[in-house]
Amino acid sequence: MKHLILLLLAIAISGCAVVQKAGLEFQPEVAANKLQKEFDEIPPPDGKKVTIAVYSFTDKTGQRKPTPGIANLSSAVTQGAEVFLIRALQDVGRGEWFDVVERVGIDSLTKERTIIRQMREAYEGKDAKPLMPLQFAGIIMEGGIIGYDSGSESGGAAHRFLGIGAQTQYSKDTVTISLRAVSVNTGKVLATVTVTKVVYSTADSVAVLKFLRNGTEAFEAEAGLTINEPGTLAVKATIESAVVELIKEGERRGVWDFKKPPVAPLPPEPVVYVVPPAPIVKDEIPVVTVVIKEEPKVEIKPTPEVTSPQSSIGKKMFLVESTYVRGKPSSDPYVTRLWLFDKNEEVVIVSQTDVDWVEVKNTMGKKGFIKLEKLKEKN
The answer to whether residues 174 and 47 belong to one domain is yes
Residue type, 21: K
The answer to whether residues 206 and 337 belong to one domain is no
Of the residues 252, 270, 287, the one at which a domain ends: 252
Q: Classify residue 261: in a domain, yes or no.
A: no
The CATH number linked to 340 is: 2.30.30.40
Residue 361 has phi, psi (to 5 degrees) of -145, 130
The answer to whether residues 86 and 173 belong to one domain is yes
Domain hosting residue 143, numbered range: 31-252
The answer to whether residues 100 and 187 belong to one domain is yes
Of the residues 221, 252, 283, the one at which a domain ends: 252
Count of structural domains, the chain: 2
Q: How do the pLDDT tens digits run along the chain, 379 residues long?
A: 555 555 555 555 555 444 444 445 555 555 555 566 677 788 888 888 889 999 988 888 777 666 665 555 567 777 888 888 999 898 888 888 899 998 888 888 989 989 988 888 888 887 888 888 888 888 999 998 888 887 777 788 877 777 777 888 888 888 888 999 999 989 899 999 998 888 888 888 888 877 777 767 777 777 888 887 778 888 888 888 889 899 989 888 888 888 877 777 777 777 666 666 656 555 555 555 555 555 566 565 554 444 454 555 666 778 888 888 887 777 776 677 777 887 777 777 776 666 678 888 887 778 888 888 888 776 5
Q: Classify residue 229: in a domain, yes or no.
A: yes
pLDDT of residue 79: 80
d(CA 285, CA 224): 106
Among 139, 137, 132, 148, residue whose Cα is nearest residue 60: 148
Instruction: Give yes or no for a contact between 171 and 201, defined as CB atoms under 8 angstroms apart.
Output: yes
The answer to whether residues 39 and 132 belong to one domain is yes
pLDDT of residue 353: 62
Instruction: Give yes or no for a contact between 351 and 294, defined as CB atoms under 8 angstroms apart.
Output: no
Instruction: Give yes or no for a contact between 86 and 99, defined as CB atoms under 8 angstroms apart.
Output: no
d(CA 306, CA 379): 18
Helices (H), the chain: 2-14, 36-41, 82-95, 106-124, 231-252
The answer to whether residues 68 and 206 belong to one domain is yes
The answer to whether residues 47 and 176 belong to one domain is yes
Q: Does residue 284 sit in helix, strand or coil? A: coil
The answer to whether residues 237 and 323 belong to one domain is no
The CATH number linked to 93 is: 3.40.50.10610
Provide the sign of the torsion angle of the four alpha carbons 247, 252, 255, 260, taken in this order.
positive
Q: Classify residue 56: in a domain, yes or no.
A: yes
d(CA 338, CA 375): 18
d(CA 154, CA 314): 68
Q: Classify residue 115: in a domain, yes or no.
A: yes
Q: Classify residue 168: in a domain, yes or no.
A: yes
The answer to whether residues 120 and 50 belong to one domain is yes
* pTM confidence score: 0.56
Of the residues 215, 235, 252, the one at which a domain ends: 252
Q: Classify residue 54: in a domain, yes or no.
A: yes
The answer to whether residues 371 and 236 belong to one domain is no
Return the axis-axis angle of helices 231-252 and 82-95, rounded to nearest 10°. Answer: 50
Residues near 64 by Cβ (< 8 Å), separated by ≥ 6? 72, 73, 74, 75, 76
The answer to whether residues 207 and 115 belong to one domain is yes
Q: Classify residue 35: in a domain, yes or no.
A: yes
The answer to whether residues 113 and 196 belong to one domain is yes
